[in-house]
Amino acid sequence: MTAGTETTTATPGSTRLRPPRNPVDRRAVGWWTTDLLLLVAAPVVALVVLGVLIAPARIWLLAPALVIAAIGLAAAATLPRWWFTVHRWEVTDTAVYTRTGWFWQEWRVAPLSRIQTVDTRRGPVEQRFGLATVVVTTASAKGSVTMAGLDHALAADIAEQLTLITQAVPGDAT
Amino acid sequence: MSDEFRELDRRGLPVAAVFMSGVAALAAVPTAIGLSSISVGVALAWSLPGALFVVVAGVVAEWLRLRFTRYRVGADRVELRTGVLIRTRRSLQRDRIRTVDVTADPLLRVFGLVSVRIGTGEHADDGTVRLRPVTRATGDELRRALLARVGRGEAEDTLAVLDPGWIRYAPLSFVAPTLGIAAFGGALNAADWVGRAGGVIDWAVDLLVGLGLVGAIAVLAGVVLLVGVVGAAGLWVEMWWGYRLDREPGGTLRVRRGLLTTRSISIEEDRLRGVDVVEPLGARLAGAARVDAVATGMATKVEKDKARHRTLLPAAPGAVAHRVAADVLREPVSPTDAVRLSPHPVAARGRRLRWALAAVLAGELPLIVLGLVLTEVLLHIAWITSVLAVPVAVALALDAYRSLGHGSVGGYLVTRSGSVRRSTVALQRRGIVGWTVRQSVFQRRAGLSTVAATTAAGSGAYAIRDVGTSTGLEAADAAVPGLLAPFLERTPAADSSGRRRA
């Protein structure tokens, strides 16, 4: 419409995001497996207990328990290994970069200059596996970047390093 | 402005008294009417003391609140102390204050009072101080004092004032039919309540029966629509009467509006990261558009009326909208107007068509299932509604595809999407604080991605939807040079074609 317009299009089909450099810690497979098993165990145990107590409805309670347990075990045996290949992260001199998901794959980039807070989170199961999650937030409500399943010493290092960089940058990063 | 701790205005007490009397009356009158069937004495004996208690309790609570609330506007901070049992102190750094909104509902206006909301736009509630009530003069003084930055040596400038003709766009939204249906339901409800006044209903039913089925439906629909249109127009007048958009010397945009409840909303220009030109379907067909601010530190989602809070211009003719958008951004031409938007791949159209048809199918499915199980009538209803719904869905899908686009002009990234609510966002590139690229399995097969620029302003992220993956990534890379580049892989063909950057 006007002369001020610039085009940002380039040759299509030629550019893509490369995977971030680092895989998550190998122990994350164990963590995710445990999480999945715990998630499945709760309804299964409840159904089995009820099935034992309520004799007339036993079949109707134990059958779903069996189905849930089977699906849960299958998921626990396969999904964490798959996630391990999918979840990747990277911290460069300029940005934090992660990739997650497969059905809905998601790449997130946050420049270090815009980071507002750096948190390390450790759930109880995560702690047992010696892992930690680093959450980096920016001024955007939808811009946080999460790196889950890192070795906890490494996570602490990253968090400290990012915090130092963040403090060095003046302004409120909006 | 003094450095002392100050109190809220004592006239909050009569305001509370009047308000609580209203509440008490609303509760007591139906109770009294209900009980009067026993005896008038019983009715009064129960409802009067109850009402009195409500009023006294409300006034005492307000008295305590006023008694224990103090605020101070110091050189560096605004402090608020409040709470009777649990004392809370809140302190806002003055240079972090971004918005000062002044509202006055009719009750406050009678007493010459206003309610002031001072916001930093951070940490939701913790970053907000509310002063209710203070006098109108104090409110104005606060607003001016807190938003006074180093002046840029410019006079106050009026960017837009209300044109009463814009009311013609008010009924062209979903508000009108919704209001009409709500009023219809309300009327039936009231008739059910009152019961005794059933004569009116009988009369109306007789009248409608006389018209036959088609006539009755037509008349009913007409009445509902009329009520809706009148309601929407009334709402518009209450919301937008006396609207004006000014730029104040300190670099603050100020929206003033409201007939009964007056509102003054100030947005610091430094907080502005762009504009969103919103065209709801009805308004778009009439060539109208609304302008919303994309700014950091606006009212957060816990508060109601959010969308209205950032509206800089109500639905107005497109040319006016683009001019206001340009003026607000201090650009000669609005980036939303100047940009040439690149269309998105045809695969995006297929996705929209599939969504539209899936939505129709999801709506029809219960009818079909129940129809197969119960009665054939439902199947007939299903196919008749499908015949109507499918073309509409397809039209909306095609329109949604046509709306898709992105581009870049000057310092702005522009992205457009939506059909029922088409939104063209111009986001300052310096306001982009990261990227989120999403790709579902289906998008991957079609070579599409949704590339979202995250920002501190507005909704937090603005997406280029269903763009060709390569195109989208190049656009993102060009918008914020250097940020995405280390993570991109380009095949040789792309390298030799060269990227053009702003």
Residues B368 and B426 in one domain: no
Residues B356 and B465 in one domain: no
Task: Identify whether residues B11 and B143 lie together within a single domain.
Answer: yes
Q: Which of A1, A6, A7, A8 to mutate to test the interface with B (most CBs of B within 10 A)?
A: A8
Q: Rounded to an integer, what distance in angstroms lies between the CA atom of residue B111 and that of residue B88?
A: 28
Q: Are residues B171 and B139 in the same domain?
A: no
Smallest CA–CA separation between A21 and chain B, in Å? 10
Domain membership of residue B429 (yes or no) is yes
C-alpha B177/C-alpha B191 separation (Å) is: 21
Closest Cα in chain B, distance from residue A6 (Å): 6
Alpha helix positions (H), B68-132: 106-110
Say if residue B498's pLDDT is above 90.
no
Q: How many domains does chain A have?
A: 2
Check pLDDT > 50 for residue A8: no
Judgement on whether residues A49 and A93 belong to the same structural domain of the protein: no
Look up the ipTM and state it: 0.85
Same domain, A98 and A60: no
Where is the domain boundary, A84, A108, A123? A84
Range of the domain at A131: 87-168
Give the domain CATH number at A133.
2.30.29
- Residue A6: the pLDDT is 39
**Are A1 and B337 inside 8 Å of each other by CB?**
yes
Q: Is A97 found in the same domain as A162?
A: yes
- 3-state SS of B231-289 is HHHHHHHHHHCCCEEEEECCCEEEEEECCCCEEEEEEEHHHEEEEEEEEEHHHHHCCEE
Given this model, what pLDDT does residue B89 score? 87
Residues B13 and B127 in one domain: yes
Q: Comparing B407 with B211, which gets the higher pLDDT? A: B407
* Closest residue in chain A to residue B485, using alpha carbons only: A17
- C-alpha pair distances (Å), B242 with each of B295, B328, B449: 23, 19, 44
A80 and A106 in a common domain: no
Q: Give residue A48's pLDDT.
A: 92
Judged by CB atoms closer than 8 Å, whether chains meet at A12 and B482 is answered as no
Task: Evaluate whether residue B263 is within a structural domain.
Answer: no
Nearest to B106 by CA among B243, B235, B259: B259
pLDDT at B422 over 90: yes
Same domain flag for A69 and A110: no
Residue B450: inside a domain, yes or no?
yes
Structure token pair of residue B99 = 């918005």
Residue A4 in domain: no
SS3 B117: strand
For the segment B175-179, the average pLDDT, to the nearest whole number, is 80
Q: Where are the beta strands (DSSP E) in B362-460?
A: 405-409, 412-417, 421-428, 432-440, 448-455
Q: Look at residue B254 and tell me whether its pLDDT is greater than 60.
A: yes
pLDDT tens figures, B325-344: 999 999 999 999 999 999 99
Task: List CB contacts of A129: < 8 A, sequence separation 6 or more.
Answer: A27, A28, A30, A31, A34
Total domain count for chain B?
A: 4
pLDDT tens-digit profile of A54-64?
A: 888 888 899 99
A70 and A116 share one domain: no
Q: Which of B184, B209, B240 is the last residue of a domain?
A: B240
Residue B153 has what pLDDT?
A: 56
Considering only CB atoms, A8 lies closest to which of B345, B407, B489, namely B407
Is B213 among the domain residues? Answer: yes
Q: What is the mean pLDDT of residues B174-178?
A: 80
User: Between A and B, how many CB-CB pairs are < 8 A?
Assistant: 174
B65 or B98, greater pLDDT = B65
| Mean pLDDT, range A111-140, rounded to an integer | 90
pLDDT at residue B394 tops 70:
yes
Given a cut of 90, whether residue B347 has pLDDT beyond it is yes
Residue B108 is assigned to a structural domain of this protein: yes
Question: With contacts defined as CB-CB under 8 Å, which chain A residues touch B345?
Answer: 12
State yes or no: pLDDT of B303 exceeds 70.
no
Residue B300 lies in a domain: no
Nearest CA-CA distance, residue B297 and chain A, Å: 10
Structural domain containing residue B171:
165-240
Same domain, A101 and A131: yes
> Domain end: B147, B182, B205, which one?
B147
In this prediction, residue B494 has a pLDDT band, given cuts at 50, 70 and 90, of very low
Q: Which residues contact A26 (CB under 8 A, 6 or more apart)?
A: A84
Same domain? B421 vs B477: yes
With respect to residue A6, please indicate whether it lies within any of the assigned structural domains: no
Q: Nearest chain A Cα to B500, which residue?
A: A8
Q: Which among B194, B215, B240 is the end of a domain?
A: B240
Q: Is residue B65 part of a domain?
A: yes
* Tokens found for residue B462: 């603005």
pTM: 0.81
Residues A92 and A163 in one domain: yes
> Are residues B390 and B358 part of one domain?
yes
